[in-house]
Structure 1
Amino acid sequence: MKDRIRKDDLKEKVMSAESAAMLIKDGMIVATSGFTPSGYPKAVPLALEKRVNEGEAIGITVLCGASVGDELDGALTRCGVMKRRYPYQTNNDLRNAINESQVSYQDMHLSHVTQFIDYGFFGKIDVALVEALAITEEGGIIPTTSIGLMPQAIKNSDMVIVEINMSQPMELEGMHDIYMTEKPPYRKAIPIEQTGDRVGTHYIPCPPEKIAAIVFTDIPDKVRPLGPIDEPSKLISGHIIDFLKYEVRKGRLPKNLLPLQSGVGSVANAVLGGLVNSDFKDLTCYTEVIQDSMLDLIDAGKVTIASGTALTPSIEGLKRLHENMKHYAKHCILRPMEISNNPEVIRRLGIISMNTAIEVDIYGHVNSTNIMGSRMMNGIGGSGDFTRNAYLSIFTTVSTAKNGEISSIVPKASHIDHTEHDVSVVVTEQGLADLRGTSPRERARKIIQNCAHPDYRDMLMDYLERAEKTKFKYQPHLLDEALSWHDRFLKTGSMKVDKNQSRDISDLIASSKE
């Protein structure tokens, strides 16, 4: 306990998870640590679930940095405690509850969440529930594998409940760099000029009197497995690497590129992984999540600094991380998501952003959140923060889904998270479309010819050519037909048309709507 609680009088606040959970009351707003899914509280949410399962009626609003593990999002959803949730999630039970309107949910840019807390837009934060590595002599809280919204949660809450997780290695101490901004009109420039700049403290300041409970736990992060790097992902990565080499030859990028950002998940992990065997070296990353491929790049001597707000390894990666924490701590910096996702810093450093799309339309609009425009998948996360402010913004997707029954390139996106104005490059396993400096109709041809799957390329080109014959020429659409691409899947389970039927695609689409 001595190494973990360094302020002696706080040792009196140590209690069981069950006792700490009693501090959370019906109707409260609770802000927690955790980010995709690392460094989130586990013991107290499980104790809260137990209270409800024993017959108590409790409903709360939960704010997290991003997705968290099943002990929080899953458990509190299944028992009915979760009534409202912000801003990003990946749990199946929570996703289903959101889509059935059992949990109220607002999708948000992650850089906005911490500001909204500071501005009071969510209302008063009753409890900050945070996982910690240790508590300093002054009462400062040292995070574990993520920071997320912890600083703002602690600053703005009435009380703080701390879970000290003994499964987290002490070698994490010193990896964090906590810097917080002021509210307007007193906000100052964030003094980060290089990816590796450290501008804050290694702990989150916290008035000791705010700490209402300290719980010891040893429940490890329930990290997600990453899918294998399959052939489509390798092809996507190869297209991006070739493009980056071209940009270096043209003098638009330095030889060691500019700081890289990559989104969450298997495809994003694979894209970065392709750089391991590339000629690039002395790379830096300024991103949200530090995944397995970034550890590979560090081990290969390719990446010198990786800055993020969370360590988000796979099951295998977590073991590797713990066994070599001193090594990775030399290269990794964890920051609050207010700083990792800050538009000011992203623009200053010239980030190359790489994020994943659900679908892209022929004019370069990107849907990264809603299936068929209606069902929430995970949320926008930080992709908008980086895309809108990047030096280069790249979106990746495999060209088809559902075993080829859905085209990821469509005439009109069923939901738009990122407009054509923010998207520089679209990449699928089929190829890459550089959209910079192009008109809408030029973009459409590039995306269809370079990115669409051959099974859908003729259909998309037919749609474009007929749309161009209508009265409106700038960004021409046949709106009924554009929407019917998704309607056809809902009715038949496929966006494909029977190649043995008439080649008049408009007749086929019209017939599918009858």
Structure 2
Amino acid sequence: MGSDCPGVAIRWPRGAQMQEAPLSDSNRIADPRLRDRIMDAEAAAARIENGATIGMSGFTGSGYPKAVPLALARRIEAEHAAGRPFQVRIWTGASTGPELDGALAKAGGIEYRLPYNSDPVAREKINAGEMDYVDLHLSQVAPMARQGFLGPLDTAVIEVSGITEDGALIPSSSMGNNKTWLEQARQVILEVNRWQSPALDGMHDIYYGTALPPHRKPIPLVHPDDRIGQRHFRCDPDKIVAVVETDAPDRNAPFSPPDAVAHAIAGHLLDFFAHEVKQGRLPPELLPLQSGVGNVTNAVMLGLIEAPFENLTAYTEVVQDGMLDLMDAGKLRFASATALSLSPEKAQWFNTQADRFRDKLILRPQEISNHPELIRRLGCLAMNGLIEADIYGSVNSTHIMGSRIQNGIGGSGDFARNAYVSIFMSPSVAKGGKISTIVPKVSHTDHIGQDVQVLVTEQGLADLRGLDPKRRAQKIIGTCAHPDFRPALQDYYDRARRTSFGMHAPCLPDEALSWHTRYIQTGSMRP
């Protein structure tokens, strides 16, 4: 049984099943006090005022509210049609779905957004200067909210999978910042989603021991499968002003089958892991895996099914399809995350199979899943994607051509700086070969070279640990760059070594971003 007292870590014996019975599917709202507050989405959305700051649940397209944001978007459209202003400020855990970011952005209803977005409509608004967007490390959001740096939170709109008889809230398929939003908000609107599996009850671990400085106590988590908190959210029932019943699926994009490039990247990385085990730098079961979102990282998970590693664990942000397949194959013993991030088909499958994963999976608040101290303590192997890397190993993971936001930094910075091994992966070219992902200098820096230890493309893997900048450059050019761009990179580097202002990290400032300028002007980085 999970502890209701912070500061006590409970580890389940391997193979043990949790004994608590999940909430029955026919009784999702068991608290009679809250049954009296059931209303439709329009009535709930009417409780949100123009200019309000709203903390929404949701993390990578999972566990976000579906009905109230749509109703709010309709209300905003009606207000705008009547010539009246109406916009809100949105905080979330990470990305959400089209019913939230997409609908509200299309209605012109979002004034301000943090900390992560992947919706294409919202992205266009941000890049057009029509929406203010703050891109934050995901581990920082909840502490900043509690510290008051972000201002007051008017309303929390949180999806849950059920409400117990005593008013406790059973989380759904993501945790994100929900705990903090429930604590900080002046009023709370709940969506109780019957689509979410009732077997999720018991898969969550909500730690209430975090505090503001000074004299904070260590978080007592030393293994990925430690339970240190509670199964359910607690919330003052007097703050809950509306309960909306829904039956709607999470909307994550499907994963494409891994192509030859993804398989090649995964192969290089698995060979690297095998080499590190042989050298005694990794144990045979590796160290806890962290995997960012995307087809390449999903391909790595699938590749591990056939790899010679057993009893794997994961301490990560999201559980993707490949990680569930790894569990199903008996190779991944346990995974700790803050959200599921499953394709539509895999999400439907998981809902029918969730009982099988009750002793293999924990979902935690993102300030725990992404906590730098815990990542370093556990020794995670961090695997994240990139937009571009330069010849010295600096990585841009957020902006196209220096100024156009793609999604955001997400949790990659939380893990990269604190991982046992920090790995970034990408195909070596993009846009049909018109863009090289290895460039003389990144157009925007999210991860400095000191935080990037391994770079992988389909061309090869560059282990950069312990190399000075000049050796890093030769390794990256010779190993990771696409052959079509390798001669130009080598030419740039050779000339920089002859004429650079300094020789520690040779650079030609007037040429360093010329590849990006060429792409903006001609549509290709090719000379």
One of 158, 173, 184 as aligned partner of 1:145? 173
Is residue 357 from structure 1 mapped to residue 386 from structure 2 by the alignment? yes
One of 378, 397, 411 as aligned partner of 1:368? 397
Is residue 223 from structure 1 mapped to residue 252 from structure 2 by the alignment? yes
**What is the SS of the residue equivalent to 2:179?**
helix
Q: How many residues align?
A: 497
Alpha-carbon displacement from aligned partner over 1:266-310 (angstroms, at most 9, x marks no partner): 112112221111111100000000000001100110001011000
Is residue 54 from structure 1 mapped to residue 78 from structure 2 by the alignment? yes
Q: Distance in 2 between matches of 1:476 and 1:52?
A: 53
Alpha-carbon displacement from aligned partner over 1:165-215 (angstroms, at most 9, x marks no partner): 011110110000001311112421111110100111111111111111101
Is residue 115 from structure 1 mapped to residue 143 from structure 2 by the alignment? yes
- Superposed displacement of residue 2, structure 1: 6.9
Matches within 5 A, 1:305-320: 305-320=334-349
| Residues 30 and 164 in structure 2, CA contact (< 8 A), matched pair in contact too | yes
Q: CA RMSD in A?
A: 1.0
**What is the SS of the residue equivalent to 1:482?**
coil
Higher relative contact order (CA 8 A, sep 6+): 2
| Residues 68 and 89 in structure 1, CA contact (< 8 A), matched pair in contact too | yes
2:367 corresponds to? 338
TM-score, normalised to structure 2, is 0.93
One of 476, 480, 502 as aligned partner of 1:451? 480
One of 263, 266, 274 as aligned partner of 1:237? 266
Unaligned runs of 5+ in 2: 1-24
1:87 corresponds to? 115
Q: Distance in 1 between matches of 2:296 and 2:503?
A: 36
Is residue 422 from structure 1 mapped to residue 451 from structure 2 by the alignment? yes
Unaligned runs of 5+ in 1: 498-514
Q: Distance in 1 between matches of 2:144 and 2:73?
A: 28
Q: Distance in 2 between matches of 1:346 and 1:205?
A: 26
1:4 corresponds to? 28
2:69 corresponds to? 45
Counterpart AA for 1:11: R
Counterpart AA for 1:178: I
**What is the SS of the residue equivalent to 1:469?**
helix
1:282 corresponds to? 311
1:33 corresponds to? 57
- Superposed displacement of residue 3, structure 1: 2.3
| Residues 79 and 86 in structure 2, CA contact (< 8 A), matched pair in contact too | no
Is residue 21 from structure 1 mapped to residue 45 from structure 2 by the alignment? yes
Is residue 200 from structure 1 mapped to residue 224 from structure 2 by the alignment? no
Q: Distance in 2 between matches of 1:469 and 1:299?
A: 55
TM-score, normalised to structure 1, is 0.95
Q: Distance in 2 between matches of 1:459 and 1:53?
A: 51
Q: Distance in 2 between matches of 1:216 and 1:294?
A: 31
Alpha-carbon displacement from aligned partner over 1:399-430 (angstroms, at most 9, x marks no partner): 00111111100000000000001011000000
Q: Distance in 1 between matches of 2:57 and 2:168?
A: 15
Is residue 295 from structure 1 mapped to residue 335 from structure 2 by the alignment? no
**What is the SS of the residue equivalent to 2:186?**
strand
1:406 corresponds to? 435
One of 489, 494, 497 as aligned partner of 2:524? 494
- Superposed displacement of residue 329, structure 1: 2.4
| Residues 138 and 411 in structure 2, CA contact (< 8 A), matched pair in contact too | yes
Identical-residue share of aligned pairs (%): 52
One of 61, 67, 81 as aligned partner of 2:95? 67
- Range with greater deviation from structure 2 (462-471 or 123-132): 462-471
Counterpart AA for 2:36: E
One of 144, 151, 156 as aligned partner of 1:128? 156
1:397 corresponds to? 426
| Residues 416 and 422 in structure 2, CA contact (< 8 A), matched pair in contact too | yes
Q: Distance in 2 between matches of 1:18 and 1:173?
A: 28
| Residues 138 and 208 in structure 1, CA contact (< 8 A), matched pair in contact too | no
- Superposed displacement of residue 8, structure 1: 1.4
| Residues 434 and 526 in structure 2, CA contact (< 8 A), matched pair in contact too | yes
Is residue 273 from structure 1 mapped to residue 302 from structure 2 by the alignment? yes
- Superposed displacement of residue 126, structure 1: 0.4
**What is the SS of the residue equivalent to 1:184?**
coil
- Range with greater deviation from structure 2 (137-146 or 243-252): 137-146
2:507 corresponds to? 477
**What is the SS of the residue equivalent to 1:133?**
strand
| Residues 175 and 332 in structure 1, CA contact (< 8 A), matched pair in contact too | yes
- Superposed displacement of residue 145, structure 1: 0.3
